[in-house]
Amino acid sequence: MVMTRPGRADAKTVALIASAVCALLFASIFAWSLLQSSGAEEGEAESLPPPPDLRDLGTPRSGEAGSLRSADGLFIQFTDRDDPTRVAGVLEFDRLDPLRGRNYELAKPRAWFFLEDGRFVFVSAPAGRIARNLRDDVESGRFRDGVEVRMYDPTPDGSRPDPETATPTLVGTTPILDFDFSISRASAPQRVEVVSDEIEFVGHDATVVFHELRRRIEHLRVERGERLVYRPRASEEGASVAEAERPEPAPPAERPAAGERVAQAEPGERTAAAPEQTQTAQAGQQSGQQAGQQGEQAQPRQPRRANYHIVASGEVVLNQAGRTISGDRMDLWLHTIDGKLPENTFGPSRASVDRVESQTIALASAQPGWSGPVAAQLPVLAMTTPEGEAMAAPEGEAPAEDPIEEIDPDGTVTMTWTGPLVVNGLDARSDELRDGNQLAVRFTATSTGLVRMSDEGSGATARCSELFYYATRRELTLSGVGPRAVTFNAPGDGRLETTRLNAYLLDGQAVIPGPGLLHAYEDGQNAPNPARPQMITWTEQAEFNFAMLDGEMTSAIRNARFMGEVEARGRDAIGSSQMLVARFEADAERSRSRLMQLDMSERVALEDIDRSRVTGDRLVIDFEPDPDREFASRPDRLTVAGTARVSQQDASLAAETIDARLKPEGEGRFALDRLVATENVEVVRRDDNSRALADRLTADAGMDRIELEGAPVRLTRGDAIVEGPWVTYRREARLAEVIGRGRFLQQPRGSGEPAAEATWTEQMVYAGDEGLLSCFGDAAVVYRTARQTTETLQGEQIHVTLSRAEGEPRQEDPFAFRSAGSSRQVETVHAIGRAASESGGAMAVAQSLRVGPGPLPRARHAPQTSPESAAPGAGTRDRGAEGPPIERLMRLEGPQIFADNRAGTLRVDEPGRLVFADRRDADQPVGEERDDVRGSALFTWQESLLIDNASGDSVMTGDVRMTHLRLGDSLRTTLVCDRLTARLAMPESAGSEADPELRSVHAEGAVEFTRDDRVLQADSVVYDPQEGFARATAEPGRLVRYLDPAQGSPQSARAFVWNLVTDEVRVSSPSPVTTPR
């Protein structure tokens, strides 16, 4: 909408419809003034000579016939009905000629009326006619042949202005003016025209009827209207309501001095009665002056109040500076005090403003700085307010010049209509004039069905079925029947469609109490884009709040609220909720706004073109000033609360609250800068069946860094689960980290127990590019198989490296190596015990444990096991609370344990020990494929251990010790050497169904092989635990010694074979025996 000053519409439209009252001026002023008078003045006989009267003209003199005579230069003087001492008017004429039936022809009749406010009304015509009643009072008459009515402002001395030289403030003309005092009626049956600096009125066939007792217009009708032009001054004066409520003082003494002008207006040529008439006029002047002096002490009169209903019909059109309102009918209700509109007619005045402005209603558009679907240029009604009266200058200061007395050409209002204009007086305030309202206007369209509004400058248009405006309360209502009965259209901005709109101008609010639709046009377009509509719809109500400036409502919108199944469609997104609130930063001075927040609540859903969807109980989008555009904004933050969920095609994020910071990417697109989700956080990826549960999720720009917090955080993918209090993932580095106590589980679907479990107390780190998985703080990795076998890796730290098959794509999931179908394999495992850094600290442990029937033990750490625990009685089932008995065990301990699956080796480079145990019951059958090798073996060393899975050889060096206990016969043997090679039957891989078995032992260097108290000392011993044989040999030049306390002397030989089952020692190459003498 084109505006002459920022923030305010400059049209002087609906409130200035009150100027339609001026259309009544000419048709009523003459008869109204006559009704203010009481007819021919009678005066007091003691002090005043009787004034001339028409009755005197018909009284025959002595000796003359009793018939009417012609006369020249006569006049009739009228007094005020309320104050008979005040001269209210005078009727003059050049000649009076009697006619038939008490009628008289007047030549050049002229009438002066002296209004109470000091103004003068002068009525003249070339000819006229009056009629007397039986009391010889003037009853009716006609002025004809070109009647002219002039109004003059008060003169400084109260004297009558000279019609020949004085400039009137208003001039009215009509060919004929009829009046009938008996029925208080006046009419102008032909064209009526009224012209002043402010008003131009043209109508045809006007009739007015007055209510004599109530001193008001009872009925006025102009049969055919033509036009009413109102050129408002910048200030207008109305009757003060506050003053009208209290008694007013009598008019000043100078006002009756108008009677002096009556004496001065006597014609030059007089009849014989002229001296008497002159004396009478002068007496009238004196009477008026006396009345004025008496009036100063008289009781003040009560103000005269009147209520009117004015109707203009037939193609009513109001236009002002290219802004137009049209309809089939206009109704105007108004309340007057002493014939004036009260000063607060157009709303409360503003003491801070030094002038009065007229009321405005015009179409305008809010101009927010964001082009999104919600804030897209809302077409609204922008209305300004009338301003208060000019403030009095402080005492002692001259009043400032008032530059607003000139006509404002842009404020000119033109009203045209083709049908009648009707005014009816009301006995009491109608509903439209209640609650303090002084003026109300209604436009309707019973024939066309549409009240239309338009603005040529901006091209904006509006339509409705009814427009209603309460001027004093400054409330505007547009209404109609049907979903699109009220429509606003602003080219380049948008269109509003609804059933009703209420605007409250004092508060800067507009309310739509029903369903509606708001379209936003694309740049440069004058209609919606059907392919990409941008609009808001709602079913219950919409509210708009506009910024105020100097008490006036501007078009700078502050907030908008939509309620009831709200749906907002943008270029690339659709949003829905039960309520949507848009908040703006308003610049009232420049009449502009920029969006600062969108707030959607109750059943919120937002979906974009890529099928991404956001749902929740509430969604808030905060905006920030856009540095690249003037007074514009851009999205800065998005918050979803209450069962919040963000979904994509194959992923979703749910939480009680999701808070996202945004950053611009260019071309109107925005990317994630930071994301925080809190309470009941759930992340689901359907493409790989992964899921994350947490109390809090934090992600940075581009989701490059993700942090999960919870008690605990739980990550699942397929059958893999990770738990911990704090999980961090860096996408670019493919680094996942769990801070605090946590665990990793692999649990097949439907399984009651996990197949694999890793635990730690401090930290777990996975570096995807390096394929490194590290656990810190009392870490343990446990595998379980269906054969009741548990494999455990335990240490203060555990480091696992993983491989990626050639051609395998990058895995974004840090735990993909455990997921189904993954080609990632464990390459190396490095377990570090606390003993590696602290003397006496716990060793790293690698263990394989098999138990009997029953639930698997839930202990996180591998049980401490020694050869003593492998005693024959220890294999008996324990029916207590410890769970099922141990059947098979292999346990490796060392400060550090290195496993290399690529080389198939397991090594310990420091002192450690290795335990093998078979603790099944002695009566439990053994498989037919092999002999019974049940029993236990403990190995310790001081230097190193190397296990080769391919050969099954375990090589131990440095003070190696072995203790072996057969389960079936409780055969116990020990072995000490420098180097020991134990051949083991190892499972092919972790979690394999095969059990680790001790097949043979080869000891070298300073070997001592002991059973009970018997000892073999040799350079080499080969021990077969399955057969129960031990073969001891010596290096060339050396001997094997066999010590048996029962024989006394040791035996020496090149080799010994010891059958431990039969306890038979056979010498292969004996040495000389020396006996005591």
Instruction: Tell me the Ramachandran region of residue 919: left when phi exceeds 0, alpha when psi lies from -120 to 50, beta otherwise.
Output: alpha
CA 282 to chain centroid, in Å, comes to: 79
| 891: nearest Cα among 957, 938, 923 | 938
- pLDDT category at 921 given cuts 50, 70, 90 is low
- Tokens representing residue 744 in the block: 């990793």
Euclidean distance between CA atoms 333 and 344, whole angstroms:
15
- Domain containing 79 — which CATH number? 2.60.450.10
Residue 247 in domain: yes
Euclidean distance between CA atoms 766 and 779, whole angstroms:
14
Mean pLDDT over 761-775 rounds to 84
pLDDT greater than 60 at residue 451:
yes
Higher pLDDT, 580 or 240: 580
Q: Is 833 helix (H, G, I), strand (E, B) or coil?
A: coil
pLDDT greater than 70 at residue 434:
yes
Euclidean distance between CA atoms 826 and 924, whole angstroms:
36
Asked if 22 contacts 74 with a C-beta cutoff of 8 angstroms, the reply is no
Higher pLDDT, 687 or 921: 687
- pLDDT category at 534 given cuts 50, 70, 90 is confident
Residues facing 107 on adjacent strands: 95, 127
Q: What number of other Cβ atoms are within 10 A of residue 59's Cβ? A: 11
For 354-397, the pLDDT digits (tens) are 333 333 232 223 322 222 222 222 222 222 223 333 333 333 44
pLDDT greater than 50 at residue 289:
no
Q: What is the pLDDT of residue 117?
A: 79
| 211: nearest Cα among 239, 189, 179, 185 | 185
Q: What is the pLDDT of residue 283?
A: 37
Please confirm whether the linkage preceding 712 is cis (ω < 30° from 0).
Answer: yes
Euclidean distance between CA atoms 1048 and 1042, whole angstroms:
11
Q: What is the pLDDT of residue 350?
A: 42
- pLDDT category at 532 given cuts 50, 70, 90 is low
Structure-token match 């001054």, residue found: 233
For 515-531, the pLDDT digits (tens) are 999 888 766 666 666 66
> Among 467-471, 660-664, 812-816, where is mean pLDDT lowest?
812-816
Amino acid at the residue 208: V
Q: What number of other Cβ atoms are within 10 A of residue 298's Cβ? A: 15
| 499: nearest Cα among 475, 533, 465, 461 | 465
Amino acid at the residue 443: F
Where do the DSSP E strands lie in 648-770? 651-666, 669-685, 690-699, 705-717, 720-730, 735-739, 742-746, 756-760, 763-767
CA 700 to chain centroid, in Å, comes to: 25
Mean pLDDT over 958-982 rounds to 85
For 738-764, the pLDDT digits (tens) are 999 998 887 666 655 657 788 899 998
Based on the structure, what is the number of domains in the chain?
1
Cβ partners under 8 Å of residue 66, min gap 6: 58, 59, 60
Q: What is the pLDDT of residue 291?
A: 40
Is residue 615 within a helix (H) or strand (E), and if so which, with residue range? strand 613-625
pLDDT greater than 50 at residue 1002:
yes
Burial group, residue 389, by CB count within 10 angstroms (0-12, 13-18, 19+):
middle
Structure-token match 């380049």, residue found: 492
| Backbone angles phi and psi of 521, in degrees to 5 | -85, 150
For 131-158, the pLDDT digits (tens) are 888 777 778 889 999 999 999 999 999 8
Long-range CB pairs of 602-609 (<8 Å, 24+ gap) are 602/577, 602/578, 603/576, 603/577, 603/578, 604/575, 604/576, 604/577, 604/640, 605/575, 605/576, 605/577, 606/573, 606/574, 606/575, 606/576, 607/573, 607/574, 607/575, 608/572, 608/573, 608/574, 609/572, 609/573
Q: What number of other Cβ atoms are within 10 A of residue 176's Cβ? A: 18
Higher pLDDT, 26 or 328: 328
Residue 913 in domain: no
Q: Is 177 helix (H, G, I), strand (E, B) or coil?
A: strand
Euclidean distance between CA atoms 658 and 663, whole angstroms:
17
Euclidean distance between CA atoms 241 and 251, whole angstroms:
18
For Cα atoms 862, 846, 1023, give the angle at the middle one, nearest 5 degrees. Answer: 110
Instruction: Output the CA–CA distances (angstroms, integers) from residue 774 to 603, 715, 934, in the order listed.
Output: 45, 17, 36
**How high does pLDDT run on average in the chain?**
74
- Tokens representing residue 893 in the block: 């301990």
Residue 759 in domain: no
Q: What is the pLDDT of residue 886?
A: 75
Asked if 583 contacts 600 with a C-beta cutoff of 8 angstroms, the reply is no
Mean pLDDT over 833-855 rounds to 84
Q: Which domain holds residue 258?
A: 25-57+69-233+241-296
3-state secondary structure 639-656: EEEEEEEEECCCEEEEEE
Residue 1061 in domain: no
Asked if 140 contacts 281 with a C-beta cutoff of 8 angstroms, the reply is no
| Backbone angles phi and psi of 243, in degrees to 5 | -75, -30
Residues in the chain: 1077
- Tokens representing residue 189 in the block: 């049956």
Euclidean distance between CA atoms 522 and 934, whole angstroms:
86
> Among 345-349, 499-503, 1061-1065, where is mean pLDDT lowest?
345-349
| Side-chain-side CA neighbours of residue 1009 (13 Å) | 29
pLDDT greater than 60 at residue 560:
yes
pLDDT greater than 60 at residue 807:
no
For 870-880, the pLDDT digits (tens) are 433 344 344 33
Mean pLDDT over 688-700 rounds to 86
Q: What is the pLDDT of residue 920?
A: 65
Higher pLDDT, 204 or 37: 204
Mean pLDDT over 626-649 rounds to 89
Structure-token match 């098979």, residue found: 888
For 99-134, the pLDDT digits (tens) are 988 899 999 999 888 887 788 999 999 999 988 887
Residues facing 337 on adjacent strands: 305, 340
Q: What is the pLDDT of residue 748?
A: 66
Cβ partners under 8 Å of residue 696, min gap 6: 676, 677, 678, 679, 681, 707, 708, 709, 710
Higher pLDDT, 663 or 955: 955
For Cα atoms 226, 229, 231, give the angle at the middle one, nearest 5 degrees. Answer: 175
Please confirm whether the linkage preceding 163 is cis (ω < 30° from 0).
Answer: no
Asked if 665 contacts 671 with a C-beta cutoff of 8 angstroms, the reply is yes
pLDDT greater than 60 at residue 297:
no
Residues facing 479 on adjacent strands: 466, 500
Residue 283 in domain: yes
| 57: nearest Cα among 261, 282, 272 | 272
pLDDT greater than 90 at residue 656:
yes
- Tokens representing residue 630 in the block: 């003037």
Higher pLDDT, 444 or 273: 444
| Side-chain-side CA neighbours of residue 860 (13 Å) | 14
Higher pLDDT, 930 or 912: 912
Q: What is the pLDDT of residue 147?
A: 94
**% of the chain surpassing 70 pLDDT:** 69
- Tokens representing residue 230 in the block: 């109102």
DSSP 82: S
pLDDT greater than 50 at residue 167:
yes
Mean pLDDT over 771-793 rounds to 82
Residue 93 in domain: yes
Q: What is the pLDDT of residue 999?
A: 81
Mean pLDDT over 858-882 rounds to 45
> Among 84-88, 255-259, 865-869, where is mean pLDDT lowest?
255-259
Q: Is 900 helix (H, G, I), strand (E, B) or coil?
A: strand
Euclidean distance between CA atoms 87 and 968, whole angstroms:
149
Mean pLDDT over 151-180 rounds to 91
Helix and strand numbers (H, E) in the chain are 5, 67
Higher pLDDT, 874 or 987: 987
For 1028-1059, the pLDDT digits (tens) are 888 999 999 899 998 988 887 888 899 999 88
| Backbone angles phi and psi of 867, in degrees to 5 | -60, -30
Q: Is 431 helix (H, G, I), strand (E, B) or coil?
A: helix
| Side-chain-side CA neighbours of residue 639 (13 Å) | 13
Residue 96 in domain: yes
pLDDT greater than 90 at residue 849:
no
Euclidean distance between CA atoms 76 and 137, whole angstroms:
11
Euclidean distance between CA atoms 1049 and 1055, whole angstroms:
17
Structure-token match 């609906």, residue found: 14
| Backbone angles phi and psi of 118, in degrees to 5 | 95, -5
End-to-end Cα distance, the chain: 138
Of 279-288, 326-335, 868-877, which one has max mean pLDDT? 326-335
Residue 210 in domain: yes
Residues facing 210 on adjacent strands: 217
Of 1-5, 46-50, 209-213, 1017-1021, which one has max mean pLDDT? 1017-1021
Higher pLDDT, 1061 or 5: 1061
DSSP 327: E
| Side-chain-side CA neighbours of residue 665 (13 Å) | 8
pLDDT greater than 60 at residue 2:
no
Q: What is the pLDDT of residue 392?
A: 35
